[in-house]
Amino acid sequence: MEIKQIHNVPQTFEERHHLRKTIDLFVKGRSLVPPVSMDDLSALSDQLISTHQLDASVKGWLMVEINNCVWQETVASIPYDKRILLLPKCLSRSAKCKADVDELGLLCHRCHHCSIPDLQDKADSLGMLSLVAEGFTSVIELIKNGVVDAIIGVSCLDSLEKAFPLLINNAVPGLAIPLNMAGCKDTEVDYEYVERLISLQSDKQVSLLNYDHLKSTVKEWFDKENLSALLSPSGDLTSSITLDWLGGNGKRWRPYLLASTYVALTGKMDIPREVQLAAIAVECFHKASLVHDDIQDNDTVRYGKQTVNAAYGDSIAINVGDMLLGEGYRLLTQCGNMELIKVAAEAHIALCKGQGAELEWSAAPRTLTMDSVLDIFCNKTVPAFHVSLIMGAICAGNNEALQGTLHNFSQAMGIAYQLQDDIEDFDTEEPVVIRPSAVLAALCEQQTRDGFTEALFKCNDLKTFLLLPENKGLLDEALLRVRQMTEQYHKKALDTLHEVENMELKRLLFRVVRKILKN
């Protein structure tokens, strides 16, 4: 949902003041845990417009102000020295302003012809950072680097069209105060309102968790020295290859998700040994599946180097994959929780079923339905997210209700991820082999021409086949359908988070969606 073309601001201070009170009561009447998605903010503003018969042109302004109410309590509990005030240069009086501008923003001469120095003085008196610059993008880096935890920003709705979704998708605690008019100079803002939001304070003090720091911790777990101390002795060839493969390249998404879920639910940055073992076990299972996949698909390159089967042959590669599975289960036995082993085993079985269905189809290609492809995704791709999140929750001692929510999130997220991956196959110069995919299913379901599917399954490169004159337009139609499905499952993943009451976990999963679905 964009704010585009609905940039009107209520014209008078009295209207804005009244609407802010109305919004405050509206939000307090609902159990809204931040962050709230753009789609949800859009729906909430539509409710307000309908209930109070408001002009639909103020929808963008309402979305921003609703989001402010949702985040106010959190921002109030963040120490002043972990907040930043961001002001726009256009608040200055252009005819009188003599300030210089550098790469960071405006260097105010404090002539007091505008409200900028007064607001900066207020922020400074509280120990808060302040910056006069356009846009929120630069401040996102300060958030990622742990310099600040919250943003209080003044901007016009035109600028917020791009910046606001950035704040939402990064799950940044933030308050955005729209300027009272559009334009690039001599603008105005409700000064008292900004001053009140700057001064917000709560008896409850919150220090947000640093998930980026956690990435470094997880990376250290896979140092060969650490792995050598945890895995079986590696004097033999199979053990040595296993150690190299596990400690080699990889994004470590699965162990990171497990550890992050634990941290979010417990609030503890000190990770117990059993959580580290479970996280490494999850990566063992993942790397085992890659080794076996490469054998089954006869792939020769992964991570820019030879696959295990290409380097050592299929027999040794099978043995390495099996050893990784064994090491994973052995590590889980040391965690002292049989539930972890149960979850891993169930996911292992589901993965084999999904891979089996794909191999069976590849051996005897036939008309493919979207339902059958989604079923493969649920078995083959969804467990990658599900296992990590559920194990993190189990390690944190959390309840079955949350595990149900995490299951639903993982299912929507996993399907959206695989749909996106199927689309991206057509964004490269590489040939696209025939395999069960959402794009292939869409082609099968939308095309009824005699002989089409027979010719389709005989081709070696799907891209080349679809460039034939008689197939013109088919790929665009199929990709459009898959993109629409991706958006639907993306939204479904965020919608499942309505049930998450832990703000830190919800922030984490919002960021996971943004990172994995590149949104």
pLDDT digits (tens, 9 = 90+) for 71-114: 999 999 999 999 999 998 888 776 666 666 655 555 666 676 67
* Tally of structural domains, the chain: 3
In a shared domain, residues 326 and 472: no
For residue 4, being part of any structural domain is answered with no
Find where tokens 């605690």 sit: 173
* Domain around 175: 13-199
In a shared domain, residues 352 and 403: yes
Least confident window among 167-181, 314-328, 457-471? 167-181
Residue 289 has pLDDT above 50, yes or no: yes
Check residue 365 and give left, alpha or beta (phi > 0: left; psi -120 to 50: alpha): beta
Please tell me the distance from the alpha carbon of residue 316 to that of residue 306, in angstroms, as a whole number: 14
Apex CA 160: angle with CA 103 and CA 118, to 5°? 60
pTM over cut 0.85: yes
The last residue of a domain, from among 289, 316, 336: 336
In a shared domain, residues 160 and 221: no
> Residue 172's pLDDT band (boundaries 50, 70, 90)?
confident
Give the CATH number for residue 190: 3.40.50
In a shared domain, residues 42 and 166: yes
For residue 5, being part of any structural domain is answered with no
For residue 3, being part of any structural domain is answered with no
The alpha carbon dihedral of 514, 272, 249, 380 has a sign of: negative
Q: Say how many C-beta atoms besides its own lie within 10 A of residue 256's C-beta.
A: 22
> Residue 5's pLDDT band (boundaries 50, 70, 90)?
very low
In a shared domain, residues 511 and 408: yes
What digits encode the pLDDT tens for the residues 362-403?
Answer: 999 999 999 999 999 999 999 989 999 999 999 999 778 899
Q: Give the chain's largest Cα–Cα span.
A: 79
Calculate the alpha carbon distances from 72 to 176, 244, 345, 500 in Å. Answer: 11, 48, 43, 19
Calculate the alpha carbon distances from 115 to 11, 88, 97, 120, 496 in Å. Answer: 20, 11, 12, 9, 43
The last residue of a domain, from among 199, 222, 245: 199
Among candidates 105, 111, 99, which has minimal Cα distance to 139?
Answer: 105
In a shared domain, residues 341 and 295: no
Please tell me the distance from the alpha carbon of residue 241 to that of residue 231, in angstroms, as a whole number: 12
The last residue of a domain, from among 316, 336, 356: 336
In a shared domain, residues 74 and 115: yes
> Residue 293's pLDDT band (boundaries 50, 70, 90)?
very high
For helices 273-297 and 237-247, give the axis angle rounded to 10 degrees. Answer: 110
What digits encode the pLDDT tens for the residues 402-431?
Answer: 999 999 999 999 999 999 999 999 998 889
Residue 257 has pLDDT above 80, yes or no: yes
Please tell me the distance from the alpha carbon of residue 1 to that of residue 27, in angstroms, as a whole number: 20
The alpha carbon dihedral of 104, 106, 107, 112 has a sign of: negative
Structure tokens at 254: 């699965």
